[in-house]
């Protein structure tokens, strides 16, 4: 997987980034987030990349919940 999760030293934070390749530099998506939020970020990034018909569920619920 091209996305990585790394603990920041001496802080209770985690960083989510894309692995560096030959053509482009390392891209950071979140600099200091909790472990729970960092894992959510990873799942979202992987869903966007690999799910060709990805639609966030939150927006679907809001559209169908008109009362």
Tokens 């799942």, residue located: 43
High-pLDDT (> 70) share of the chain, %: 81
Q: What is the pTM of this model?
A: 0.67
Could you read off the pLDDT of 52-67 as tens digits, one per residue?
A: 777 766 655 555 555 5
Mean pLDDT of 27-39: 91
Give domain limits for the chain.
3-64
Residue 34 has pLDDT above 90, yes or no: yes
Rounded-to-integer distance, Cα 33 and Cα 66, Å: 34
Rounded-to-integer distance, Cα 65 and Cα 63, Å: 6
């Amino acid at each position: 997987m091209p996305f990585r999760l790394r603990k920041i030293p001496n802080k209770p934070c985690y960083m989510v980034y894309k692995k560096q390749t030959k053509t482009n530099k390392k891209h950071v998506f979140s600099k200091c987030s909790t472990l729970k939020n960092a894992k959510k970020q990873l799942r979202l990034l992987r869903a966007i990349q690999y799910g060709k018909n990805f639609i966030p569920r939150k927006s679907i619920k809001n559209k169908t919940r008109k009362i």
